[in-house]
Chain A
Amino acid sequence: MNIKLLCDLFITFAKIGAVTFGGGYAMLPILQREIVENKRWGTDEELADYYAVGQCTPGVIAVNVATFIGRKTGGITGGIIATIGVVFPSIIIITLLAGVIQFYSTLEWVKHAFSGIRVCVCVLIFNAVMKLFSKAIIDINTFCLYLIILAGSVFLNLPPTVFVVLAGLAGIILKMTVKR
């Protein structure tokens, strides 16, 4: 295995992880600059494909894209190294911040600040749901599925895994019956 290439993969993806706020689509312009233009590890078309597949596979999209490009450039080891690279800055930054926040969390003004922030988080989740909703609810079937799973999540005490498996099966059955 080429050690220099693996180091390069790690450093490049750590850099991408450190400058991207939000992950997913926020990462695309930075990936285009670093991967396609600077390092030439892939093309714009390949990136688009990776995003498409990243959406059809479980997990965090940014992580999926890192694994893809790493594998293509440096084999399976490359895929693992690139993935560790992309999460590395998160681990450092979040661990430091979590420690600081826990230390100051008993202060009165910090409590007030976080109570305000929670309102904002509600609005951010609402906005995220609206965005997802417009892409996911495309007909009457998907709308009914949305309502059923929403009711199920609110009223039944079942783990989300159950809903994911059922919804995946329902999707396959619905698509198959619509075709015929």
Chain B
Amino acid sequence: MMTYINLFWEFFKTGLFAVGGGMATLPFLYDISDRTGWFTHEQLADMIAVSESTPGPIGVNMATYSGYITAGIPGALISTLGLITPSVIVILLVAAFLSAFHENKYVIGAFYGLRPASSAMISAAGLILARVVFFAGNFSNPLNLKAVILAVILLAFTNAVTFTKKLHPVIWIAFSAIAGIIFKY
């Protein structure tokens, strides 16, 4: 029972403070992983891949997935409920004075600071994952060359090549899975 209450509370906080779309929940999930041990950093990386490759909002998918790993099907329901509850409350309150809200100078000011903070926290989460992927968890380890080659190829296809950069991420996730199996990552 305590796990369910904690699960709800952790995802309630995530839903209340994660600003800027699905990926913004990532720093919160890393924080939950560090403090509770409900899921590992590796499992988080897998969750991102599955959430990007399946329908539905990424933030919701990640919450459902981590809830399932923590406490099975009830966990999946509770974490998702926790994530969306603050949104629903805030929106129902804000809906009454819609235009006054997003033209309010304090709201504009807060978001002027929140957007760079959100980018910074997602960057930090990316660094944690990069350390696992490219250095086997510690920067003093030798660089994993196989991973670097795949990363460079993916960076080129998703940013530089005109024909491929508009393709859906699920294609690159499938491509990387096949590369992983063939070259034994």
Contact = CB atoms under 8 A, between A and B. Distances in A.
Nearest to A161: B17
A93 B60 CA distance: 12
Interface residues of A, number: 96
A141 B122 CA distance: 19
Categorize the interface residue count of chain B: 35 or more
Given A68-B95, A71-B95, A127-B158, A94 B64 contact: yes
B88 interface: yes
Q: Is the interface of B mostly helix, strand, loop or mixed?
A: helix
Nearest to A80: B88
B91 interface: yes
A161 B13 CA distance: 8
Contacts, number: 358
Contacts of B17: 58, 160-161, 164-165
B56 A150 contact: no
Contact of B185 (A90, A115, A126, A159): A115
Contacts of A136: 20, 115-116, 118-119
Interface of A: 17-24, 27, 49, 52-53, 55-64, 67-68, 71-72, 76, 79-80, 83, 86-87, 89-91, 93-95, 97-99, 101-102, 109, 112-129, 132-133, 135-137, 141-143, 145-150, 152-154, 159-161, 163-176
